[in-house]
């Protein structure tokens, strides 16, 4: 595995390559996606670009499942950077040179790095696919990075995070309003109480509701997101 090579896309279409053990994660996050995202009539997958609150720019995805995973990583407060299609690995597998492009690479707040492969659960039952991912994981872990295979997330969690993502843009909520909403919700026991408390403070019920949902996105208040959000959903405030 010491002879594993990489390529990544730097400065537009120019490819940069070398040995994997020489690849600096900072170069990965500065690069463009290794594969080009394409759209055409009749295609069976659903690529697109998602505006990430974590990165402050667009991150690509190639399927609805990748978008679901991207949403959850964007919501994770431990994540500080996300790169899509970060690099290509080129290495020998069973006497044949193979290449592999993972779906995402993330940087954690504690400066750890994790490479993420997104696969439908049913496809992991294929021995060829499972073997290829095990091969890729061993190579990536030998570089000192984490490797995680992600399948379909919990439906309720995904639904809630997708809903909260509508309130993820910090520029829509001035800092003074975020501070006021946070202070007003201290001691609130339910989401309904948090809405009412913030509404009294901000003097705008609809805006206050949006501000509270922004607090949930930022983890400034918390609740169980594995069940459908209701007015009587219990919340934890700081």
What domains lie within the chain, and their CATH numbers? 5-150 (3.40.1350.10), 155-237 (no CATH)
Residue 26 has pLDDT above 70, yes or no: yes
| pLDDT tens per residue, range 35-57 | 776 655 665 668 899 999 999 99
- pLDDT of 152-186, one tens digit each? 999 999 999 999 999 999 999 999 999 999 999 99
Q: Output the pLDDT for position 93.
A: 86
Tell me the Ramachandran region of residue 141: left when phi exceeds 0, alpha when psi lies from -120 to 50, beta otherwise: alpha
Query: The whole model's pTM is what?
Result: 0.93
Packing angle, helices 155-164 and 64-75, rounded to 10? 70
Which is more confident, 88 or 93? 88
Beta-carbon neighbour count of residue 100 at 10 Å?
18
Q: In the prediction, which pLDDT does 238 show?
A: 75
Please list, in sequence order, all residues whose beta carbon lies within 8 angstroms of the beta carbon of residue 4, skipping any fewer than 6 positions away: 19, 20, 21, 89, 90, 91, 139, 142
CA distance 73 to 103: 12
Q: What does the alpha-carbon distance between residue 59 and residue 50 come to, in Å, rounded to a whole number? A: 5
């Amino acid at each position: 595995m010491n002879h594993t090579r990489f390529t990544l896309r730097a400065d537009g279409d120019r490819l940069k390559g070398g040995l994997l053990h020489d690849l600096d994660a900072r170069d990965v996050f500065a690069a463009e996606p290794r594969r080009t995202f394409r759209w055409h009539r009749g295609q069976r997958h659903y690529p697109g670009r998602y505006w990430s609150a974590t990165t402050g720019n667009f991150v690509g995805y190639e399927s609805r499942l990748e978008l679901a995973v991207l949403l959850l990583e964007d919501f994770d407060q431990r994540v500080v950077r996300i790169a899509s299609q970060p690099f290509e690995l080129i290495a020998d597998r069973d006497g044949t040179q193979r290449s592999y492009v993972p779906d995402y690479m993330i940087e954690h707040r504690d400066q750890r790095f994790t490479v993420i492969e997104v696969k439908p659960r049913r496809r992991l039952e294929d021995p060829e696919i499972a073997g290829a991912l095990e091969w890729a994981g061993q190579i990536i872990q030998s570089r000192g990075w984490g490797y995680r295979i992600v399948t379909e997330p919990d439906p309720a969690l995904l639904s809630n995070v997708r809903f909260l993502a509508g309130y993820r843009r910090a520029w829509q909520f001035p800092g003074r309003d975020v501070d006021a909403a946070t202070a007003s919700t201290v001691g609130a026991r339910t989401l309904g109480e948090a809405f009412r408390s913030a509404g009294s403070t901000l003097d705008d019920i609809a805006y206050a509701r949006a501000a509270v949902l922004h607090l949930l996105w930022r983890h400034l208040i918390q609740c169980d997101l594995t069940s459908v959000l209701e007015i009587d959903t219990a919340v934890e405030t700081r």
